[in-house]
Amino acid sequence: MSIKLNEIRDNPGARKERMRVGRGIGSGKGKTAGRGQKGQKSRSGVAIKGFEGGQMPLHMRLPKRGFNNPFGKDFAEVNLGMVQKFIDAKKLDGKKDIDHAALKAAGLARGGKDGVRLLAKGEITAKVKFIVAGASKGAIEAVEKAGGKVEVLPKAQPEHEKKAERAAANKAAKADKQK
């Protein structure tokens, strides 16, 4: 038996035509189109995620864990040992000041929208000046022992403190006007 390219087709019954719903009572899928009657799920576009038929859903039965501090700072933590490694590999220039931009360019600091925090893990032998948002006592001591310097940037004033100062200034200005 020879097969010709123009005679190739699926086996009979391999492809089933889709059911056209809502096309009259005689079709078997008329009126409610196989959705039953009434209610939210008989309408289109409904997916009730996590609903367990009125039983308390699993995600609500499990205990809550942890705490997300709304005032927490996001620092990119950098260890002195890694900085020394990058200086030895010529990925960081030890003669220039090392700040957040330099560490990010070298691929050492990822993230850290509030700046870089220097940590004392590892050893540093290069005489380097760091300009960072924060540093541990051990890191500052290690850098100064190697002949370098750590400059910690001043902390930015929190927004709620700025608002309180503005409110106090406005109150004082009003009191001066009334006099």
Assign residue 132 the CATH number of its domain: 3.100.10.10
Mean pLDDT calculated for residue range 3-32: 92
Residue type, 69: N
Phi, psi at residue 119, to the nearest 5°? -115, 155
Residue 105 lies inside a defined structural domain of this protein: yes
- For residue range 52-63, list pLDDT tens digits in order: 888 999 999 999
CB atoms within 10 A of CB 138: 13
Pairwise CA distance, residues 134 & 172, whole Å: 35
Q: What is the pLDDT of residue 95?
A: 87
Strand partners, 151: 131
Residue 38 lies inside a defined structural domain of this protein: no
Q: What is the pLDDT of residue 41?
A: 83
Q: What is the pLDDT of residue 117?
A: 94
State yes or no: pLDDT of 8 exceeds 90: yes
H-type alpha helices, the chain: 58-61, 80-88, 100-106, 137-145, 159-178
| Domain count of the fold of the chain | 1
Residue 132 contacts residue 79 (beta carbons within 8 Å): no
Mean pLDDT calculated for residue range 38-62: 88
- Give me the percent of the chain exceeding a pLDDT of 70: 100
Residue 46 lies inside a defined structural domain of this protein: no
- For residue range 137-176, list pLDDT tens digits in order: 999 999 999 999 999 998 877 788 889 999 999 999 989 8
- Joined tokens for residue 150: 């750590």
pTM, two decimals, is 0.55
Residue 132 lies inside a defined structural domain of this protein: yes
H-type alpha helices, 37-89: 58-61, 80-88
Residue 140 lies inside a defined structural domain of this protein: yes
User: What domain range includes position 148?
Assistant: 76-152
Extract long-range pairs of 67-72: CB within 8 Å, 24+ residues apart.
71/158
Pairwise CA distance, residues 179 & 174, whole Å: 9
Mean pLDDT calculated for residue range 115-139: 93
50/136: higher pLDDT:
136
